[in-house]
Amino acid sequence: MAISQDQPLHLLNTVFGYPAFRGAQREIVEHVVAGGDALVLMPTGGGKSLCYQLPALLRDGTALVISPLIALMQDQVAALRQLGVRAAFLNSTLDAREVAAAERALREGALDLLYVAPERLVMPRMLELLEHSRIALFAIDEAHCVSQWGHDFRPEYLQLSLLHERFPEVPRIALTATADLQTRVEIRQRLALEGAREFVSSFDRPNIRYTIVDKQDARQQLLRFIREAHAGEAGIVYCLSRKKVDETAAWLIEQKVSALPYHAGMDAAMRTDNQARFQREEGIVMVATIAFGMGIDKPDVRFVAHLDLPKSIEGYYQETGRAGRDGEAADAWMTYGLGDVVQQRRMIDQSEGSEEYRRVSFAKLEALLGLCETAGCRRVRLLDYFGEASAPCGNCDNCLEPPQTWDATDAARKALSCIFRTGQRFGSRHLIDVLRGQATDRVAQWRHQDLSVFGIGADIDEATWRDVFRQLVTLGFVRPDHAAFGALRLTETSRPVLKGEQRIDMRRLALRKGKSATVRRKASADGMSAADAMLLERLRTWRSEQAREQSVPAYVIFHDATLSAIAAAHPRDIDDLSTIHGIGAKKLERYGQALMSLLRD
Ligand code: ADP
Ligand code: ZN
């Protein structure tokens, strides 16, 4: 089929309702339409789907989309059908009759896209069916699943190289949001994509605001954050353990937040149910372990909060990347304290992994701690980690409210001295009591009131001391000893500090207490008149009704941004309406009248 120059853009406008391509989308689409293989690296929310959906419409035959995320296929297909695209899926959730119908449609050339689970695709029966069908392209989504070193490894993915052997003339496009070099190399090798052109996008997510706060009373801090910045909005709260997930979810519910728990220890049916509710209903806060995540493509997640420290910057970036995929303002918020550092170090120390594994894990943790402790722009630090240079962003806590530093040389010396004098066998809580001259039972038991360090730090408050100890650990002057219940021990590097030969500046986190850099109004209602805001609420209600009737998620009908644009633009007729982003021909035909009558009321 001959493709005219503007055909991709024309389809983007009319089918998807978007005015322009984003980043490298156009180049990728043209490359694949022309029959080339591609390896696409784009951050979560970057717009990967269009890179194969448009070629699927532009090339003859059916595009096969291989994805491990069975739970999502149904929603993805529903969203495409809303746009008038002929799509179907094949996975283990279908019964025999439904499978037969999809297979028939494939054979008859009645499908633009077919989503398939990898294990099903490589079955002899399926391959045989493909031989007798017309295949436009293979799109291999979540391509990093071939990497045996990654945490999403799927053995079935290794067999996908046979696609190249069986169908050498069909173009293949592999897509992932995992950017590191090792994974890239593995994808190329294992999928026989050596000759594929590589498209690497910027990994910046400018609409996400990064904030890392000093851990005080984590739950209350979280609740304040949700109430002040995200009341009634959808979000994800990550915790390290299943127990903490259950407890936090229950507590949030008591506080009238619509929270649901999710972790691998739950009954499978309940887990699936909670995920479906999060995906479909509005304003649900999912409290989860990292078992929840891959395959969450809900575009209107307004915040991702971490109550515990992730293992690495890769993990942090992947988890926070689930916020704001629709491009609207979103928050990545984390509380972090000394306890987190101690806990993560212990997990690595006690892991079964090899020496090499531990070394790499410690290095990754160090990099993440650097991000937590930096007084500079968080985004610059994050992007730098992925090999991308950038300038201060103006949309992170440190840019918005630059942290102050103070000369902590004397305090550091007192803290180190206190560790030494008490025999290097205590954690920070007791050490702080000694420094502040508190007559606790423990102090009495060890006769620490007799030490020269007792009470030498009474002029500094407890929260500041916690900061000092945490920074001493992250700066490497002190190491928690896990064999001794996290007792703090001095390292070699602490000597010059102890002797007063090295000056130490620390960031003053406690100053931020109470103030919140992230307080802002709901993005969608920003700067709207009361009348427009009311209209927006009515549009939302209408959308919820539509979603319920058709049993699809609300964003499949229209995204938040589209509803906000309608409320702000006051379209007078169908023509006006058609110029709004996110309203393509099919949706105009389907919902135009209903929207116009709602607007006229
Ligand atoms: P990814 O798979 O890379 O995480 P998606 O393909 O799900 O991202 O796209 C993320 C969001 O961006 C979706 O809501 C999608 O509709 C939107 N989007 C993608 N491309 C464009 C574009 N060119 N213009 C406007 N919105 C887009
Ligand atoms: Zn910044």
CATH code, 464: 1.10.10.10
Query: How would residue 509 be classed by pLDDT, with cut points 50, 70 and 90?
Result: low
* Same domain membership, residue 230 and residue 94: no
Among candidate residues 368, 403, 438, the one where a domain is terminated: 403
Task: Point out the ligand 1 atom lying closest to the alpha carbon of residue 44.
Answer: 4
Instruction: Kindly identify the ligand whose nearest atom is closest to the C-alpha of 211.
Output: 2
The CATH number covering residue 95 comes to 3.40.50.300
Measured in Å, residue 338 CA sits from the centre of ligand 1 at 38
Residue whose CA lies nearest to ligand 1 atom number 10:
45
Mean predicted lDDT score pLDDT of the chain: 90
Measured in Å, residue 295 CA sits from the centre of ligand 2 at 28
Measured in Å, residue 206 CA sits from the centre of ligand 1 at 14
Q: Which of 14, 49, 294 to mutate to test the pocket of ligand 1 (most atoms within 8 A of CB)?
A: 49
Residue 71 domain-assigned (yes or no): yes
* Same domain membership, residue 434 and residue 358: no
Residue whose CA lies nearest to ligand 1 atom number 1:
45
- The residue-averaged pLDDT of 445-450 equals 95
Residue 523 domain-assigned (yes or no): no
The larger pLDDT score, comparing residue 224 to residue 6, is at 224
Q: Tokens 């982003």, residue? A: 581
Measured in Å, residue 430 CA sits from the centre of ligand 1 at 51
Residue 452 domain-assigned (yes or no): yes
Predicted local distance difference test score (pLDDT) of residue 551: 83
* Same domain membership, residue 382 and residue 240: yes
Residue whose CA lies nearest to ligand 1 atom number 26:
18
The larger pLDDT score, comparing residue 541 to residue 56, is at 56
Predicted local distance difference test score (pLDDT) of residue 159: 93
Measured in Å, residue 507 CA sits from the centre of ligand 2 at 16
* Same domain membership, residue 544 and residue 472: no
- The residue-averaged pLDDT of 243-268 equals 96
Measured in Å, residue 55 CA sits from the centre of ligand 1 at 15
Measured in Å, residue 378 CA sits from the centre of ligand 2 at 5
Residue 520 domain-assigned (yes or no): no
* Same domain membership, residue 212 and residue 178: no
Measured in Å, residue 326 CA sits from the centre of ligand 1 at 7
Query: How would residue 561 be classed by pLDDT, with cut points 50, 70 and 90?
Result: confident
Q: Which residues of 224-247 are buried (b: 16+ CB within 10 A; e: fewer)?
A: ebbeebbeebbbbbbbbebebbbe
Please give the share of the chain, as a percent, with pLDDT higher than 70. 95
Query: How would residue 380 be classed by pLDDT, with cut points 50, 70 and 90?
Result: very high
- The residue-averaged pLDDT of 265-294 equals 91
* Same domain membership, residue 413 and residue 382: no
Task: Point out the ligand 1 atom lying closest to the alpha carbon of residue 297.
Answer: 7
* d(C-alpha 122, C-alpha 246), whole Å: 39
Measured in Å, residue 395 CA sits from the centre of ligand 2 at 5
Please give the share of the chain, as a percent, with pLDDT higher than 90. 62
Residue 1 domain-assigned (yes or no): no
Task: Point out the ligand 1 atom lying closest to the alpha carbon of residue 559.
Answer: 14
* Same domain membership, residue 164 and residue 47: yes
Instruction: Kindly identify the ligand whose nearest atom is closest to the C-alpha of 298.
Output: 1
Q: Which of 9, 10, 82, 325 to mutate to test the pocket of ligand 1 (most atoms within 8 A of CB)?
A: 325
* d(C-alpha 421, C-alpha 572), whole Å: 78
pLDDT digits (tens, 9 = 90+) for 296-307: 778 899 999 999
Instruction: Kindly identify the ligand whose nearest atom is closest to the C-alpha of 296.
Output: 1
Predicted local distance difference test score (pLDDT) of residue 5: 62
Task: Point out the ligand 1 atom lying closest to the alpha carbon of residue 16.
Answer: 16
* d(C-alpha 131, C-alpha 133), whole Å: 6
Task: Point out the ligand 1 atom lying closest to the alpha carbon of residue 51.
Answer: 6
Residue 76 domain-assigned (yes or no): yes
The CATH number covering residue 560 comes to 1.10.150.80
Predicted local distance difference test score (pLDDT) of residue 1: 46
Q: Between vectors from CA 591 to CA 589 and to CA 593, what angle results, nearest 5°? A: 85
Task: Point out the ligand 1 atom lying closest to the alpha carbon of residue 25.
Answer: 23
Residues written for the chain: 601
CB atoms within 10 A of CB 538: 14
* Same domain membership, residue 357 and residue 413: no
Which of 124-128, 374-378, 482-486 shows the lowest mean pLDDT across its residues? Answer: 482-486
* Same domain membership, residue 109 and residue 45: yes
Among candidate residues 200, 217, 242, the one where a domain is terminated: 200
482 phi, psi to nearest 5 deg:
-75, -25
As for ligand 1, residues whose beta carbon falls within 6 Å of it are 18, 21-22, 25, 42, 44-50, 297, 299, 325-326
pLDDT at 9 over 60: yes
Residue whose CA lies nearest to ligand 1 atom number 12:
47
Predicted local distance difference test score (pLDDT) of residue 3: 54
* Same domain membership, residue 195 and residue 46: yes
Give me the sign of the Cα torsion angle 261, 266, 270, 271. Answer: positive
Exposed (0-12), middle (13-18) or buried (19+): which is 61, by Cβ within 10 Å? middle
Task: Point out the ligand 1 atom lying closest to the alpha carbon of residue 321.
Answer: 4
Q: Which of 15, 18, 51, 559 to mutate to test the pocket of ligand 1 (most atoms within 8 A of CB)?
A: 18
Exposed (0-12), middle (13-18) or buried (19+): which is 173, by Cβ within 10 Å? buried
Instruction: Kindly identify the ligand whose nearest atom is closest to the C-alpha of 175.
Output: 1
Predicted local distance difference test score (pLDDT) of residue 65: 97
Q: Which of 48, 50, 53 to mutate to test the pocket of ligand 1 (most atoms within 8 A of CB)?
A: 50
Task: Point out the ligand 1 atom lying closest to the alpha carbon of residue 19.
Answer: 24
Predicted local distance difference test score (pLDDT) of residue 190: 93
CB of 61 within 8 A of CB of 75? no
Task: Point out the ligand 1 atom lying closest to the alpha carbon of residue 48.
Answer: 3
Predicted local distance difference test score (pLDDT) of residue 151: 67
pLDDT digits (tens, 9 = 90+) for 412-425: 999 999 999 999 99
* Same domain membership, residue 59 and residue 136: yes
Q: Which domain, by its residues, includes 395?
A: 208-403
pLDDT at 504 over 80: yes
Predicted local distance difference test score (pLDDT) of residue 590: 92
- The residue-averaged pLDDT of 130-149 equals 92
Instruction: Kindly identify the ligand whose nearest atom is closest to the C-alpha of 212.
Output: 2
* d(C-alpha 110, C-alpha 122), whole Å: 22
Predicted local distance difference test score (pLDDT) of residue 295: 67
* Same domain membership, residue 181 and residue 255: no
Predicted local distance difference test score (pLDDT) of residue 508: 77
The larger pLDDT score, comparing residue 362 to residue 421, is at 421
- The residue-averaged pLDDT of 432-436 equals 96
Predicted local distance difference test score (pLDDT) of residue 258: 96
Residue 179 domain-assigned (yes or no): yes
Strands (E), 421-482: 478-481
Among candidate residues 142, 173, 200, the one where a domain is terminated: 200
Residue 522 domain-assigned (yes or no): no
Number of structural domains in the chain: 4
What 8-state DSSP symbol labels residue 569? H
